[in-house]
């Protein structure tokens, strides 16, 4: 049984979706959720789902504490689900090609520092884009620069608000992220 560690900073809808997807799996399970924000909704979601959630400080992400907890859980794959901090090089080296992220745009468009969540959807609407979507990619040391694993597009209608775009993108995230994670895990 492969062990997944999810990193999340926010409400945790993607984390919950992934936890539920693998709850009946013989292939993998979510062993732990790591969170850098004690006020994040993902903490309550984990409690309700019976999944261990470890809240850590910025220093603990850098000083080896988080890395040691990943080893304790025998982590095979790290999945970022709305995690807003940069992953240290020490973790990326230890888990080479085993750290994945989902980004709510079609990278390389709308990627990089400061481009997350509603900031992206607002920019998509402001720029009158005809489509947007999701990108699932390996994590590298540069923001949103890792090798692309999967992309899926969705149309943006001229009357769509940023909230409408967010909803459409979240539907893609919830449908495809667990499936792509499963595909990756099968090759580990």
Catalytic residue among 47, 103, 121, 174, which? Answer: 103
Active site residue 176: no
Per-residue HEC secondary structure of the chain comes to CEEEEEEECCCCHHHHHHHHHHCCCCCEEEEEEEECCCCCHHHHHHHHHCCCEEECCHHHHHCCHHHHHHHHCCCCEEEECCCCCCCCHHHHHHCCCCEEEEECCCCCCCCCCCCCHHHHHHHHHHCCCCEEEEEEEECCCCCCCCCEEEEEEEECCCCCCHHHHHHHHHHHHHHHHHHHHHHHHHCC
* Residues with a known catalytic role: 103
């Amino acid at each position: 049984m492969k062990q997944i560690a999810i990193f999340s900073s926010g409400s945790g809808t993607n984390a919950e979706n992934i936890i539920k997807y693998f709850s009946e799996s013989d292939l993998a399970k979510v062993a732990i959720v790591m969170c850098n924000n004690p006020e994040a909704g993902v903490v309550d979601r984990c409690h309700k789902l019976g999944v261990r959630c470890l809240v850590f400080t910025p220093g603990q992400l850098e000083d080896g504490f988080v890395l040691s907890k990943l080893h304790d859980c025998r982590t095979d794959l790290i999945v970022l689900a709305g995690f807003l901090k940069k992953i240290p090089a020490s973790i990326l080296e230890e888990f080479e090609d085993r750290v994945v992220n989902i980004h709510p745009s079609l990278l390389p468009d709308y990627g990089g520092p400061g481009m997350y969540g509603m900031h992206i959807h607002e920019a998509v609407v402001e720029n009158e884009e005809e489509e947007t979507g999701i990108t699932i990619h390996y994590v590298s040391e540069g923001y949103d620069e890792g090798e692309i694993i999967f992309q899926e597009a969705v149309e943006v209608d001229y009357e769509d608000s940023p909230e409408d775009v967010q909803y459409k993108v979240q539907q893609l995230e919830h449908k495809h992220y667990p499936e792509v994670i499963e595909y990756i895990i099968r090759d580990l």
